[in-house]
């Protein structure tokens, strides 16, 4: 496995800290790391609220990347409470497709870090509803 995945795992692990923020908000149960094409790693955690104000760790990390002036995703990894289940949800996949409609299929996704199972987003999302 490419050592960049270990760096991404370590970056996600560093922010992976489940905690309760208030009676209505928890966060950090899932942590994600996104590698941009420039080689920088951006992290994000999930934020869960009693309504729909929260965000997935992956999208939070992607927004962090966008906030910092980048827009090309190379790899995505997340640490979830369910080992071996590190795939992005439909909303996160959709965001990646919309950000990179011409090349999203090449984004690499770490589905299972322990077993080094890596797939391309094009395998998870072979056909896009707009394209
Ligand atoms: Zn998601």
Model pTM score: 0.95
pLDDT at 67: 98
Cβ pair 44, 78 in contact under 8 A: no
- Quick: pLDDT tens for 4-35: 999 999 999 999 999 999 999 999 999 999 99
- Structural domain contains residue 44: yes
pLDDT at 71: 97
- Structural domain contains residue 102: yes
Determine the 3-state secondary structure of 27 from DSSP.
strand
Query: What is the Å distance from ligand 1's center to 57 Cα?
Result: 7
Query: What is the Å distance from ligand 1's center to 44 Cα?
Result: 11
Containing structural domain, residue 100: 3-124
CATH number where 76 lies: 3.40.140.10
The low-confidence residues of the chain, meaning pLDDT below 50, are none
Query: What is the Å distance from ligand 1's center to 55 Cα?
Result: 7
- Structural domain contains residue 131: no
**Any idea what the Cα angle at residue 16 is, between residues 10 and 17, rounded to 5°?**
140
Query: What is the Å distance from ligand 1's center to 34 Cα?
Result: 13
Query: What is the Å distance from ligand 1's center to 129 Cα?
Result: 18
Number of domains the chain is built from: 1
- With DSSP H G I counted as helix, E B as strand and the rest as coil, what are the percentages for the chain, rounded to 5? 30, 30, 40
């Amino acid at each position: 496995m490419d050592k960049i995945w270990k760096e991404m795992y370590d970056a996600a692990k560093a922010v992976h800290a489940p905690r309760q923020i208030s009676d209505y908000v928890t966060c950090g149960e899932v942590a994600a790391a996104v590698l941009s094409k420039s080689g920088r790693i951006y992290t994000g955690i999930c934020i869960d609220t009693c309504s729909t104000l929260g965000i997935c760790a992956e999208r939070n990390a992607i927004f962090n990347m966008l906030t910092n002036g980048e827009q090309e995703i190379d790899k995505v990894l997340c640490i979830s409470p369910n080992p071996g289940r590190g795939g992005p949800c439909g909303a996160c996949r959709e965001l990646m497709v919309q950000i990179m409609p011409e090349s999203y299929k090449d984004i690499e996704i770490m589905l299972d870090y322990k077993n080094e199972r890596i797939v391309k987003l094009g395998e998870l999302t072979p056909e896009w509803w707009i394209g």
